Amino acid sequence: MGVVFAKTQKGHDEIATKAGGLSPRVRRILIFVDGKRSVEELRSMLLADDLQHTLGMLEEEGYIEFHDLKASPQAATSPVPAALPSITAFGDLPAEPDPVRLQMARNFMTNTLNAFVGSLGTSGLLDRIDKSDGHQALRDLYDEWYHAIVMSRDGKREAESLRAKLLNVI
């Protein structure tokens, strides 16, 4: 069925009071999270280019949490299994630096910036990506890379797919 999220108490409070200051678009996505709809169903209903990123942000800020539909009501209050990663989480850093994966991640970030944004506005970021000396250094540049991609017209359409591909190698 896919990943399903439910609102936390903080999420319900946000819907009732608007105290968290979420943007109308993010708040709308939060409203649709009901503990029954999978991420795929939400994607088809909301047509949000950055749905996965937004859900990840809502999860990290405590508005939503993973919801196990198969669990009993008592089990639904138990913590999420350790094997289930956050949808925004990086994989574990390799024990030994992997120069091939590191170069793949560098190339992917550079090529997507050049293709979707252009080198004119991102030359500083491109230089930092090129000079990064490890996986953690590239991960530190991830948010800036993603923001640049999402801010471009064509990149916004492909952002979620590009993001998933990069997370596989970074």
- 21-52 pLDDT tens trace: 888 888 989 999 998 888 888 887 877 667 88
The answer on 72 and 21 residing in a single domain is yes
**Taking the CA of residue 13 as centre, how many other CA atoms within 13 Å lie in the half-sphere pointing to its CB?**
8
pLDDT at 69: 58
Q: Does 90 reside within a domain?
A: no
Report the C-alpha gap between 97 and 161 in whole angstroms. 26
Report the C-alpha gap between 167 and 170 in whole angstroms. 5
The answer on 66 and 9 residing in a single domain is yes
pLDDT at 111: 93
Q: Does 70 reside within a domain?
A: yes
Q: Does 110 reside within a domain?
A: yes
Q: Does 149 reside within a domain?
A: yes
pTM assigned to the model: 0.52
The answer on 107 and 72 residing in a single domain is no
Ramachandran angles phi, psi of 21, nearest 5°: 70, 30
pLDDT at 104: 92
* Number of domains the chain contains: 2
pLDDT at 70: 54
Instruction: Calculate the alpha carbon distances from 160 to 2, 24, 80, 119 in Å.
Output: 16, 20, 24, 21
Q: Does 82 reside within a domain?
A: no
Which domain, by its residues, includes 13?
Answer: 5-77
pLDDT at 92: 77
Residues of the chain below pLDDT 50 = 72-87
pLDDT at 88: 52
The answer on 73 and 9 residing in a single domain is yes
